[in-house]
Amino acid sequence: MKRSLTATAAAIAGLLLLAGSPLVSAAHAQDAAAFFSAAFQTAPAGGRPQASAIPREVVSFTNRYAPGTIVISTSERRLYFVLGDGTAIRYGVGVGRPGFEWAGTKVVSQKREWPSWTPPAQMLKRRPDLPRHMKGGIENPLGARAMYLGSSLYRIHGSNEPNTIGQAVSSGCIRMTNEDVTDLYERVRVGTRVTVIR
């Protein structure tokens, strides 16, 4: 679908260019194709679109953290993967809603691709309507990847609700788009230090 939308955008821009439209130049024709390609990122196996309203980007980051560390600022709703050259990769994240905020240091104890989900007893008490277990897949709330934080119930994971990224809506887990969590997952190893600050 993404390929056809990109081709359609390029074709429309090309027709406007040939027609002499003052709105479209040759450069704009390429930009239109790139825009549609980015705007309609699709999930694996024909799943839901994974729109990313908060772009992933490399930013200046001159702090004391060692290269490879993950730093999560819940007040900013951003996750930083420290590169060690005075920069970090910054991702948009969803964080714990009021009453579920936390701060501290953990380590990545496990990594899972398309993880299954078993809601903890505390969550089932609050939400008895939830399933007792869900197999991994695009409908699973943990999304495409999960990185488990120590022995806690918290994870950095993907989401099938990309519109919640940048908000405080979770039960304490750190949510990312499936695209972003897959990118981070490839950079992170078991034992990676994760520092959560408010």
Residues annotated catalytic, as ranges: 157, 173
Burial of 55 (0-12, 13-18, 19+ CB in 10 A): exposed
Q: Report which DSSP code applies to 56.
A: -
